[in-house]
Amino acid sequence: MIIIGCDYHPGFQQIAFVDTDSGELQERRLQHCEEAEKFYRNLAAQGMKVRVGMEASGHARWFERLLAELHFELWIGDAAEIRTKRKRKQKTDRQDAQLILKLMLKDDFPQIWVASWENRDLRQLLWHRHRMVQARTRMMNQLQAVALNEGLRYKKRLWREAGRKQLEAFRLAPWASRRRRDLLELLDRLTPTIAELTQAIEQEAEKCPEAQRLMTHPGVGALTALAFVLILGKADRFQCGKQVACYLGLVPLEDSSGDRRRLGHITKQGNSLLRFLLVEAAQVTVRSIPEWRRKYFHLALRRGRKIAKVAMARRLAIALYWMWRKRWDYEQVKKFGSHAGQPENRHGVK
């Protein structure tokens, strides 16, 4: 068997590999994509069993497809944890590849969960819609600025038929008129595209029983539910709600020592899209559930609205996690209560 430690870069990869039968150790630097593909296809032609280890990184989709096509085993490791295992202060590509190989041989490689190809493709749908909505919002803000400069303050009414006609009727300078026309054309093109993507997300959510169950929670729609299921992957990856909040970057930074405890802003280490969706959905939940509304205003008075919104998003993430893990809908959550698993309420409050 060939075990390969790969230090992956967008333009090349430095590898250190060993043949477990002969014990021979070799190192090579492979340029992307031709040289690297030729090397791995030669190993496949020889009928070798190969295991490749690399740090989690971007721009490696083609490499993952190649190894899957050749039926090679791929281990992807936690880059931060691998970094902590480096003892030497010198850092080179060769040493990084050797370290990955050493961890694989010692069975100490911090392998992480990797989403399936179908999962990652659906994530592209979510990201594409999100970026299109952001682009449309930027255009709408620019058109609002044009209207304000002409003394028209319509806010949302600007996008109704009467507001649109008034915006188009302004007599502007030549280049300002050109800018207005181009922005309106782009806006008209983006709106049906976003509607089509939204419909596709709703159709995918209908195919996913987990997303359908999460959508029973007030404030949670198809987009938030599907994103939650896709990005977390499997409910049994996490032992408790705190781990989910940490994974999504909804816990505060901490720098504590001795009797001193210092907390900062949230870590923002998780998926930024899901974190954004949870904050938006939590605000709808606050308006829908009296208990959440009381909690939100209590926090807002003590800590401010921004912190209160994030706290509600964290609470929503934990609630959705337990609904998913226990296979409960929202009516069952209300029936059994939120204290299931605690010492005196192991099976919920009945």
Q: What is the pLDDT of residue 289?
A: 93
Ranges of each domain in the chain: 2-105, 117-207, 230-336
pLDDT at 338: 59
Is beta strand 252-254 parallel, antiparallel or unpaired with respect to 73-77? unpaired
Handedness of CA 20, 23, 27, 31 (dihedral sign): negative
Residues 6+ apart with CB under 8 A from 144: 155, 158
Closest CA to 2 of 70, 59, 65: 70
pLDDT for the residue 349 = 38
Phi first, then psi, for residue 263 (nearest 5°) are -115, 145
Topology of domain 2-105 in CATH is Nucleotidyltransferase; domain 5 (3.30.420)
Q: State the Cα–Cα distance between residues 274 and 316, nearest whole angstrom.
A: 12
Q: Rounded CA gap, 221 and 214, in Å?
A: 8
- pLDDT tens per residue, range 174-216: 999 999 999 999 999 999 999 999 999 999 999 999 999 999 9
Low-confidence ranges of the chain (pLDDT < 50): 340-341, 345-350
Q: How do residues 218-227 score in pLDDT, each as one tens digit?
A: 999 999 999 9
pLDDT of residue 318: 94
Q: Strands 252-254 and 25-31: what pairing?
A: unpaired
- Reported as a single tens digit per residue, the pLDDT across 264-315 is 899 998 899 999 999 999 999 999 999 999 999 999 999 999 999 999 999 9
Q: Do 70 and 44 meet the contact criterion of CB atoms below 8 Å apart?
A: yes
Q: In this structure, what token pair is assigned to residue 295?
A: 């909690």
Taking the C-alpha atoms of residue 19 and residue 4, their distance in angstroms, rounded to an integer, is 9
List beta partners, residue 73.
Answer: 51
